[in-house]
Chain A
């Protein structure tokens, strides 16, 4: 029977080194007795050892045999937590798991139902919770002689401020948790005392020392008053849930929380406070209210039902339209947008998008391009033809002889309709009624802009412009008579090209689309209207 003495109750490095050696010697778990600092009575063998934080991860000591076995990283993480538990058998449990993993059960940790693994995970969970609660419930007090009369900290940093805390954890977690405080309060000097040990940080290194008592703490300081005031006022007496509070902040922690003494009275008064709120009559507004509201009333009333006389007016009417149910789930209506074309070099065209919409009714030579409805990207940005299909359309347009024309992009339906799948919005085809609801807006755009010609992309656009259902296969590449006798050229929607999976078919579809646009811009409208 071997007796192994560890330096302190949460001595992970010590345990690891010894375990390696034992494993190398082939010592089975039942032949080992583990004693940690607490059990041996030699509590702080390492009081003087101070570790600079830069060497947090200890290097392998030279006296350890170079045994050739490896364990999963998960086991190391698990052990670092389990050694902190106050359960006396923790070291033996870890060594038994290690032994089993290196003796025919390499995948032991993957079985959550194994008794040893289950036990170890339970210990880890308790330690993890204890550690988390320590990061939450440690309360620092500033050393009195440094606190200023008004309770504020000084902002300059001639010398680091000194803070002290007292905490009573369930397990041996001070070392495990001190890392958190070091990284957060790096530029403060702080000490945390527990009954068992203490940690001291001076901005450069951390030193562990003997435990303390509650009276190690300096006297309460003014800031605690403010904190208690905050605690009392952030509490809503109308939604008392004591069980929820206690399950997350168990009573055992209350003795060291400056705000806890308030709890009893807050609970006691909550019922009366709530009742008095409920019983009180509604009040009338104070005198200043009317003035203040007046001052903030800059927003114009929303809808005027009369026919719009400008695009900006029309855009406002469209944005207030709620005829379709899906309108309220869209971010915004997407109105049309003018874009001009200029030649960058003799061979490359740039579609300039800085022209906007407002006050642009009098553009000459406008070709209106009508799509189906805004998609995800358009809904977010408020501009038409921004997504994948819009990008494709713009690419094709740049290859088309469109100079001399001003482009006006818009859609048959103005609000994005979608269904949610997971965290994505999937485009939903506009219904007959949506197209009909939006049709007056499109007609008004045509009335105000008076385009020379219109390109209808896809079935919904054609349907809206013609007023009846149109088969794209039948009518693609032809001119039709549109509203106010404006010639309408019908072609595919670019998204139809994007949806085509077969590469060859897709290329063909794109070529057809290019030719169609060429016809639309360069060709002569041949619809059945007297010239």
Chain B
């Protein structure tokens, strides 16, 4: 019979027919059965870890195993080894060491007051799973987090020990992302950074009062203090000037965090302002936005709502504008209404529609900053244009070779052979842009 036991972490067990099963039509023979205990644990602890959006494996140092003992390589762009039907990349083995937790964060499926099944991996089990998956090229490495058990230091010790053994005993050179626990001691943080490529602490909610309400045991100041401590260590590890010798390496892939979207009343402006302050203060590589999503066992005090994936998407777009397109938070937020981003169109287009005086931009004359503001034109496209126009004036046909979204640009750009005849009415223009087809016809 099928041996993929999908553990139902939804509270009441359902008949096994709802469990995903392996069919034979893909040409796979039925594999031999495995100890069900480990499989159950994996099911529970993967399920418990999936609300962390980050699965990135990029941006760390270049390593490989040529002429060395051990296994693994990393560096440059990350690799997504699979994609789940939720569209999220599966790059790392993302699991909790245990989903027992003494905290009672209302939005979290692993809160102490939740009735989900609990499990705990041994350190060896995590190591063996990681190596076995890695050798089959299923993953880039490990993303290990944990519920808080006994004490922050005890929990952190366990997490760090997994990483230590992977690196020192097994010479594992794949990617390791460790979730750090805000209240854990400074020594443990230093050790975590020695083995991990990335460290992260979740800010959870942009608003301190919300955090106090929904996660009474979490302490916003100590979250920020931990991020500050990581940043100081990151700075130290990159500072060669002192003695000339390279300092001990520390989390080469930097630090990241996650913000829950839609569990409290905070508007987009508040979330983005919080992100801006985090990027500026702690040199974060990324802020991940995670739409508050239904969980199998909810608290009576925090009713569930369907995940607002569109809002999450717009926040990511705004985040990009802030980091790579010279947009300030107030500019981005002003594109929408009352602190919320426009849901139907991307924030760059929203801004452009409210700033028609900026357009059309002449792609043959405009500077980089102006080009970056053109809807539909990305950073690569801007650099291609800057290169191309040195050779000869850019025409519409050239633009099509340099960008895949020319139709979206048309109302906003001038080329050697194109001048938009668009309506000055922004609402009308927005309606026209929202029509997916026949855009070229509309503007010519």
Give the B-binding residues of A (Cβ under 8 A).
53, 107, 110-113, 118, 132, 135-142, 149-153, 155, 161, 163, 165, 180, 182-188, 214, 219-245, 248-249, 255, 257-263, 265-267, 269-270, 272-274, 276-278, 280-286, 288-289, 292-293, 295-297, 299, 319, 322, 328-332, 379-382, 418, 420-425
Contacts and interface: CB of A to CB of B under 8 A. Distances in A.
B85 A235 contact: yes
B279 interface: yes
B101 to A, nearest CB: 8
A424 B394 CA distance: 36
Contacts of B398: 113
Contact of A233 (B3, B46, B85): B46
A257 B27 CA distance: 11
Contacts of B83: 244-245, 248-249
With most chain B CB atoms within 10 A of its CB, the pick from A183, A185, A288, A331 is A331
13 contacts: A140-B136, A151-B32, A180-B73, A183-B65, A214-B27, A226-B38, A230-B42, A235-B50, A260-B26, A265-B20, A269-B18, A286-B113, A286-B114
B227 interface: yes
Nearest to B93: A230
A137 B68 contact: no
Contacts of A231: 82, 84, 90
A135 B77 CA distance: 12
A135 B75 CA distance: 13
A417 to B, nearest CB: 11
Given A236-B293, A241-B87, A226 B225 contact: no
B280 A222 contact: no
Contact of A234 (B27, B50, B66, B73): B50
Contact of B64 (A111, A184, A225): A184
B89 interface: yes
Interface in B142-180: 148, 170
B133 interface: yes
A226 B136 contact: no
Contact of B28 (A232, A261, A284, A296): A261
Interface stretch (B300-308, B340-348, B368-376, B406-414): B300-308
B304 A283 contact: no
Contacts of B27: 214, 255
B208 interface: yes
Contacts of B34: 150-151, 222-223, 225-226
Nearest to A258: B28
Given A183-B65, A188-B71, A263-B85, A221 B402 contact: no
A268 B20 CA distance: 10
Given A248-B89, A278-B304, A296 B103 contact: yes
B437 to A, nearest CB: 18
A153 B128 contact: yes
A375 B169 CA distance: 43
B260 interface: no
Contact of B279 (A186, A240, A423): A423
Contacts of A139: 136-138
Contacts, number: 334
Given A111-B391, A165-B137, A248-B83, A282 B303 contact: yes
B86 interface: yes
A274 B294 CA distance: 7
B26 A379 contact: no
A282 B301 contact: yes
A229 B86 contact: no
Contacts of B132: 151-153, 223, 226
Interface stretch (B214-222, B245-253, B352-360, B425-433): B214-222
Nearest to B87: A244
Contact of B300 (A150, A230, A263, A281): A281
A265 B30 contact: no
Contacts of A220: 28-31
Nearest to B183: A299
B228 A332 contact: yes
A112 B388 contact: yes
Interface stretch (B6-14, B187-195, B331-339): B6-14
Nearest to B206: A328
Contact of A261 (B23, B39, B49, B227): B23
B22 A283 contact: no
A183 B10 CA distance: 42
Contacts of A237: 86
Contact of B113 (A183, A188, A289): A289
A243 B88 CA distance: 11
Interface string B360-403: 00000000000000000000000010011011101000100110
B440 interface: no
Contacts of B291: 239
A283 B231 CA distance: 40
Given A219-B31, A276-B10, 8 more contacts: A182-B66, A222-B34, A226-B38, A227-B136, A272-B18, A282-B301, A330-B224, A379-B228
A332 B79 CA distance: 37
Contacts of B49: 234
Contact of B102 (A230, A266, A293, A379): A293
A261 B26 contact: yes
Interface in B245-293: 274, 276-277, 279-281, 283, 291, 293
B438 interface: no
Closest 4 pairs between A and B when the two form their complex, measured CB to CB: A244-B87, A241-B87, A285-B113, A282-B300
Nearest to B140: A136
B442 interface: no
Nearest to B391: A111
A232 B85 CA distance: 9
A225 B4 contact: yes
B47 interface: yes
A242 B85 contact: yes
B184 interface: no
Contact of A186 (B68, B82, B217): B68
Nearest to B21: A265
B61 interface: no
A298 B46 CA distance: 30
A185 B44 CA distance: 30
B102 A296 contact: yes
B11 A262 contact: no
Contacts of A249: 80, 82-83
A110 B220 contact: no
Given A111-B388, A233-B47, A248-B80, A184 B113 contact: no
A262 B5 CA distance: 12
Contacts of A278: 294, 304-306
Nearest to A184: B73
A224 B31 contact: yes
A236 B86 contact: yes
A125 B322 CA distance: 28
Contacts of B240: none
